[in-house]
Structures are given as C-alpha cells and as structure tokens.
Amino acid sequence: MYMGDRSSEVAVPLLDGGAGGGDAHRDDPLKQRLPVSGSTSFFKTCFNGVNALSGVGILSIPYALASGGWLSLLLFFLVAASTYYTALLIQKCMEMDRTIRTYPDIGHRSFGHLGRALLSVSMNVELYLVSTGFLIVEGDNLHGLFPNMEFQIAGITIGAKNGFILLVTCLLMVLTFCPDNMSFVSYFSAGGVIASSVLVCTVLWAAAVDGVGFHHNNGTLINVEGLPTAVSLYAFCYCAHPVFPTLYNSMSNQRQFSKVMLVCFVFCTLGYSVTAIMGYLMFGPNLQSQITLNLPKDKISSKVAIYTTIINPLAKYTLMVTPIVHAIENRIVVYNPSKGCRVLIRMGLLLSSMAVAVAIPFFEILMSLVGAFLSITASVIFPCLCYLKMSGDYRRFRRKSAAIWGIVLVGVVVLVVGTYVAMRDIYLQLLR
C-alpha cells in the first residue's frame, strides 16, 4: 500500500534524494515547472517500489484465494499483468510531458481540474479507508492473542476487539502531537518490505516445522459467487500507482523505470502468490480474513508473524493520514496552519477512523470495497484513460488502443460488480 507526503504529491519513503517533496500547487500546477530528475539508484528504486506494492494485502490474499477457488489464481495473475501494464502507461504519460511530477498532475494534463480532483479524491479516500483497515487489523490480532480481555471504562464494559481498537487509537493519538516533519516515521515504515518477507517466512515455518502442515490438498476449483470478492482483494494488492510518478522522478536513470517495475511486480507477485497458496493448503475453506488469525497462538513462528502484523501498521498509520491532513489544510486554511490546527485535523481523522472501524469491523469486506471501487479506478481505469487522452489514441482504432479500451471495460465491470458485492456484504453483516 502506498504512503504519502502531500495530497498532490503521494510519496513512499525514499532511500535516497530525489523529487519526492514539494509544495502543493495552486491554480495551474503545470506552469513554470522544469523537468525533474533525482539521484536514486536502480536498486534503491526497486526497494522503494516493493515497499509501495507490499502492504496489508498480503494478510488477506489467502482468504481471497479461498473465496474464488484455485482457478481464481489465473485472475490474480491477470490483475498483476494489467496493473504492470498500466504502470508502464503512467511512465509513457510522464515521458510525453516532462513537467509532470505527481499522479494528479497526469489527471490535470489529461482532463484539466476535474481530472486532478477525481484522482486526488480517490487517492485520499483510499488512504483513509486503508488507515481504518489498520485499526481493524490491530483489533483482530490483539483479540486473537488475548481473547478473554475486557475493558471497563466509566462503568461500561467494552469487548476485547473494540477495546483494543480504542487502545490502539489512544496510542496513535500521541503521534498527532509529533512534529509535522515525518521523515523519521517514513524511514521506519520502510521496514514494511522486511515485515512482509518475515510474514511469508513465518507462515512457511508454521506449516513445515511447527506442525500445522498442508492438509487441504484439494480445495475448491472455482467458486463463482466468491469471484468478485477475490478479484477485488487481488486488485487491492496492486494499488500503488499514485506513487509511481514519484519513483520515476526520483531515479537518476529514468530510462530504467520499466525494468524497476518488472522487478517490483515479479517480486511482489511471487510473494503474494506463495502466501496465498500456502495459506489455502494449510487452512482450506476455514481461512479467516487475515491469515494471522488462523495461526496457532502457542507457536513461536505464529507469535512472530502476529507481532510483526501488529507493529507494522502502527508505524505506517501516520504516513497514511498525512496527505489527507494536507489536503484538508489546503481546502479550509488560507494561511499558514498552526501546529494546533494540524493536531486537531489528525485527531478528527483518527477518531472518525476509529468510529468506522468499530461500526464496520469487517476487514476483508472493507478492503474488498477499496480494491473494487478505488484501486481499480486509480490503478487500472485512470492510467488507461489518461494515456489515451494524452497520446490521442482514443481518436483512432489500433490494436494497442483496442487492448487498452479492453482493460478499461474489464476494469469497469470489476468496479461495478465488486463494489455492489462489497456494499451488499457490509449491509448483510450490519443486519446480523
């Protein structure tokens, strides 16, 4: 999952200097800007790209495979290939206009202020819902470790899961008083790559060494009813496209960007697919929304996986909400906002995230909604439409443009069906 630095400039923690920072641009943001190049090497850009693509999606992808069945893996690889191709389309858009620095810039260059607004809104809503998902992950995994815990507040008994969400919210509240410079937190959150690797290794260790084993060798070949959820969760795993312009501008040799994307997508696809297959073989149809909830709590490997899952979102939460804070500041504050204003905005976002996490504590459904409605929009549909508009290929019929229109059509189908299924599932869960 990607992390941000400003509402109009989404960035991951870069390991080297580059073009990741800057002020929010008003009026026509593409005017009076020079082409940008950075100093980040090929290897470091690969690390940053993997960090952007790897996230909490690795927790839910075994559940996605269990929902869709073994043949849904073909759709997973199709999603991976499509999003890799749209990443290359973003590169082509930036090569056509060297003044572009951010993802919303591409929207502005293609469709004016409306394009910028749509991309900015989709990015910030996605960040908000993913940060809410972090709170649900914390509550679920802490509840798994301490299932009999109860909290008493002002004579009111709060259940374990909601109590842990409240506790984590209080811990995160402390970060709202931190300085606005988030560089330290961003570098700490770069451990997300290590955390994802640790999770894959500990799941394998639990199966091979700690006695869980691979007992579900058959499984369901295909589950048509679960395919929309599966594809939506697959799309959620590849929602880092708003970061790619920042990575491109940070590179010292931007011609190698396509190779960086290939390395990142192959590495992450391998990690996701291995985790999905191992999880399905280990737990079959009994897989829960996060694979850590299935792991036996008395094993060391399981505890390492669970604690890694708990610590990682705590480090990333503040980075996720920072671009939303800047977006709100840019809209409602006409002067230089004070630290107190920033603190109040962050506290409001945190408390509203907690309210949503308590009201809709269904991680897999919420992330399925993010994948179907927002990830498909930002990572599949928008890159295709922006490229067609900037290149002028929408005016003429070619095999390449026909293929891109085909991707758009499939993306729209996934968006409509996946969003409907996710909203329906949320409604049904709330009725229970």
- Beta strand residue intervals within 193-257, DSSP E: none
Residue 15 has pLDDT above 90, yes or no: no
What is the model's pLDDT at position 78?
96
Q: Is 9 exposed, middle or buried, given 0-12, 13-18 or 19+ CB atoms closer than 10 A?
A: buried
Domain 42-431 CATH (choose: 3.40.30.10, 3.30.950.10, 1.20.1740.10, 1.10.645.10): 1.20.1740.10
What are the tens digits of pLDDT across the range 245-278? 888 988 888 899 999 999 999 999 999 999 999 9
Q: Is 72 exposed, middle or buried, given 0-12, 13-18 or 19+ CB atoms closer than 10 A?
A: buried
Residue 2 has pLDDT above 60, yes or no: no
- Coil, strand or helix at 102: coil
**Alpha-carbon gap, residue 282 to 200, rounded angstroms:** 13
Task: Work out the pLDDT band at 7, boundaries 50, 70, 90.
Answer: very low
Residues 6+ apart with CB under 8 A from 219: 66, 69, 70, 280, 281, 284, 285
Share of the chain above pLDDT 90, in %: 43
What are the tens digits of pLDDT across the range 140-154? 999 888 888 877 777
Residue 156 has pLDDT above 50, yes or no: yes
What is the model's pLDDT at position 109?
94
**Residue labelled with tokens 């009994």:** 286
**Alpha-carbon gap, residue 227 to 231, rounded angstroms:** 6
Domain range list for the chain: 42-431
Residue 306 has pLDDT above 60, yes or no: yes
Residue 26 has pLDDT above 60, yes or no: no
Task: Work out the pLDDT band at 25, boundaries 50, 70, 90.
Answer: very low
Residue 425 has pLDDT above 70, yes or no: yes
**Range with the poorest average pLDDT among 323-337, 344-358, 382-396:** 323-337
**Range with the poorest average pLDDT among 27-36, 71-80, 188-197:** 27-36
More confident residue, 127 or 336: 127
What are the tens digits of pLDDT across the range 365-378? 999 999 999 999 99
Please spell the DSSP secondary structure of 248-259, one letter per residue. HHHBSSGGGHHH
What are the tens digits of pLDDT across the range 65-110? 999 999 999 999 999 999 999 999 999 999 999 888 888 999 999 9
What are the tens digits of pLDDT across the range 335-346? 556 667 777 888
**Alpha-carbon gap, residue 358 to 356, rounded angstroms:** 5
What angle separates helix 192-208 from helix 300-332, to the nearest 10 degrees?
A: 150
Residue 223 has pLDDT above 90, yes or no: yes
Across the range 211-220, mean pLDDT stands at 80
What is the model's pLDDT at position 21?
39
Residues 6+ apart with CB under 8 A from 43: none
Please spell the DSSP secondary structure of 315-333, one letter per residue. HHHHHHHHHHHHHHHHHH-
Residue 34 has pLDDT above 60, yes or no: no
Angle at 133 (CA atoms; ends 129, 138), nearest 5 degrees: 155
**Alpha-carbon gap, residue 413 to 49, rounded angstroms:** 28
Which residue type, as a one-letter code, is found at position 112? G
What is the model's pLDDT at position 1?
53
Residue 356 has φ and ψ, to the nearest 5°, of: -65, -40
Across the range 182-199, mean pLDDT stands at 63
Of these ranges, 200-204, 308-312, 330-334, the one predicted with the greatest mean pLDDT is 200-204
Are 46 and 344 in contact by the 8 Å Cβ rule? The answer is: no
- Coil, strand or helix at 373: helix
What is the model's pLDDT at position 259?
94
Of 363, 331, 327, which is closest to residue 59 (Cα–Cα)?
363
Across the range 219-231, mean pLDDT stands at 93
Task: Work out the pLDDT band at 6, boundaries 50, 70, 90.
Answer: very low
